[in-house]
Amino acid sequence: MREDTKATQSKNAMQSKNALQARGVSRTGTAPQTRGASQTRATSQARAVQQSADAEEKIRSQKAPASPVGRQGESRPPENTYGRKKKKTAPSEDVIVLDHVVKSYSTGAPALNGISLKVKRGEFVFIVGDSGSGKSTLIKLLLRELLPTEGGITVNGTNVVRLRRRKIPKFRRGIGVVFQDFRLLKDRNVYDNVAFAQLIIQAKARDIRKNVPMMLSLVGLAGKYKAKPKQLSGGEQQRVALARALVNNPPILLADEPTGNLDPKNSWEIMKLLEEINEKGTTVLVVTHNREIVNAMKKRVITMKKGVIVSDEEQGAYIDED
Ligand code: ADP
Ligand code: MG
């Protein structure tokens, strides 16, 4: 079974290689293309997958009929089929900590120039700021795709700066990620795109058969499991990406301009989904330019400008930079 899964994973990863590279997915992976290719890519996809639990359950309760899997959520029947227990942690725990972080690329001014910030478990945080202000660099640092030039970073209790390379894949399982361009596997259908994330963590076949439909129900796509990405609208594709990001149940979800390619209606639907996921306990960090949504949702808003945080407000609003 396990061998089968591994073989499938490896095959999947290989097959996906071109598609992933074409979409720049490898950049979400750790790793230089030369190294442990299939595993690395698989890992980056898996990372993209993680989270579901809280969200699922909640969304499922709204949109989906019966689902076999229970969530580890507070009041739910705790029947997590994929075994990963949600850490019982104090609500005040900081799950993301940046301490005077500087990130310089080889050219130009530092992309981040002294960022300190803390995010508590269960928070919902918007990160806004002009193009080039360092938002994506921040996300990459949190994923350990990049190392800071200076400063400390802790995510999910892990000191990211000291993290050994071989431990990166496991670390990334604690973080679900979605991007503006969805980064789905073009040649795979919806079901397989989500299942891919489970294969990467070597989930059991029977768990995959439960978790994937559950996640698709969660995001309202149960009826489209056979569709290929190009047959879906942008909003639907982002829902698949979200299902993939959540299916492994990570405690943190990072979204880098998740509505950047979506129309207002779909943007709202995705943001509402993110909010629901957050309400179920997942810590959510959303980079966005969507002024209207930021202003309406009344969440914490961190505003960046030229690599520094210029504002950090509870129930904040989009600040005009002019
Ligand atoms: P944002 O996501 O807010 O638009 P980024 O984090 O992508 O900003 O970029 C911040 C700054 O770092 C920009 O000036 C950008 O040009 C620069 N930058 C980003 N990635 C690289 C890179 N790989 N090499 C050199 N400079 C980069
Ligand atoms: Mg960016």
pLDDT tens-place string over residues 60-76 = 333 333 333 333 333 43
Q: State in Å: Cα 267 to ligand 1 middle.
A: 24
Question: Tokens 């959303």 appear where?
Answer: 286
Do the domain assignments include residue 48? Answer: no
CA distance 240 to 229: 9
Q: How confident is the model at residue 51 (pLDDT cuts 50, 70, 90)?
A: very low
Task: Say if residues 150 and 104 touch (Cβ distance below 8 Å).
Answer: no
Expressed in angstroms and rounded, the spacing between residue 299 Cα and the centre of ligand 1 is: 25
Which whole-number Å values give the CA distances from 167 to 43, 159, 249, 262, in the listed order?
11, 11, 18, 35
Structural domain includes residue 233: yes
Confidence of residue 92 (pLDDT cuts 50, 70, 90): low
Residue 213 forms part of a structural domain: yes
User: Which residue's CA is minimally distant from atom 16 of ligand 1?
Assistant: 132
Answer whether 131 contacts ligand 1 (Cβ < 6 A): yes
Q: For residue 134, which atom of ligand 1 is closest to its CA? A: 6
Ligand nearest to the CA of 137: 1
**C-alpha distances in Å from residue 298, one per residue of 101, 124, 286, 305, 313:** 27, 10, 13, 21, 10
Asked if residue 96 has pLDDT above 70, the reply is: yes
The response to whether residue 132 sits with its C-beta less than 6 Å from ligand 1 reads yes
pLDDT confidence of residue 321: 57
Dihedral over Cα of 148, 274, 120, 70: its sign: negative
Question: Phi, psi at residue 131, to the nearest 5°?
Answer: -60, 135
| Cα 110 to ligand 2 centre (Å) | 15
CA distances from 212 to 40, 81, 247 (A): 22, 12, 7
- Residue 133 CA: nearest ligand 1 atom is 3
Pairing of strands 283-287, 124-129: parallel
Q: How far apart are CA 311 and CA 77, in angstroms?
A: 41
Residue 125 lies in a domain: no
> Taking the mean position of all CA atoms in its chain, how far away is CA 291?
21
pLDDT-derived band at 36 (thresholds 50, 70, 90) equals: very low
Alpha carbon of 63 to ligand 1 centroid (Å): 39
Assign 319 a pLDDT band (cuts: 50, 70, 90): confident
Cβ-based neighbours of 166, under 8 Å, separated by 6 or more: none
**CA-proximal residue: ligand 1, atom 21 (nearest):** 105
Residue 29 resides in a domain: no
Task: For residue 218, give the nearest of 48, 65, 33, 10 by alpha carbon.
Answer: 65
Greater model confidence, 20 or 6: 6
Could you tell me the two tokens for 172? Answer: 């990334």
Tally of domains within the chain: 1
Atom number, ligand 1, closest to the C-alpha of residue 129: 3
pTM, two decimals, is: 0.75
Record the tokens describing residue 282, joined without a space. 């997942």
210 assigned to some structural domain: yes
Distances (CA, A) of 272 to 52, 158, 168, 224, 226: 15, 29, 30, 20, 25
79 belongs to a structural domain = no
Instruction: Give yes or no for a contact between 77 and 70, defined as CB atoms under 8 angstroms apart.
Output: yes
Question: Which has more pLDDT, 2 or 25?
Answer: 2
For residue 223 and ligand 1, the question of a CB distance below 6 A is answered with no
pLDDT at 28: 35
For ligand 1, is residue 103 a contact (CB within 6 Å)? Answer: no
- Mean predicted confidence (pLDDT) in 152-158: 97
- Write out the two tokens for 138: 């921040």
Q: Among 26, 102, 105, which residue has the most ligand 1 atoms within 8 Å of its CB, making it the best to mutate?
A: 105
H or E segment to which residue 35 belongs: none
Residue appearing with tokens 């056979």: 226
Q: Ligand 1 within 6 A of 111 CB?
A: yes
Q: Which atom of ligand 1 is nearest to the CA of 256?
A: 2
Distance 139 CA to ligand 1 centre (A): 11
Ion ligand 2 neighbours, Cβ < 5 Å: 135-136
Mean pLDDT calculated for residue range 204-217:
96
**Three-point CA angle 32, 33, 38, nearest 5°:** 115
Cβ of 115 less than 6 Å from ligand 1: no
Centroid of chain to Cα 276:
15
End-to-end CA distance of the chain: 59
Cα(134)–Cα(111) distance, integer angstroms: 5
Let me know: does 309 contact 128? Beta carbons within 8 Å. no
Q: What is the pLDDT of residues 220-253, one digit of tens each?
A: 999 999 999 999 999 999 999 999 999 999 999 9
Confidence grade of residue 24 (pLDDT, cut at 50, 70, 90): very low
Domain containing 191 equals 186-248
In a domain, 1, yes or no: no
107 in contact with ligand 1, CB cutoff 6 A: yes
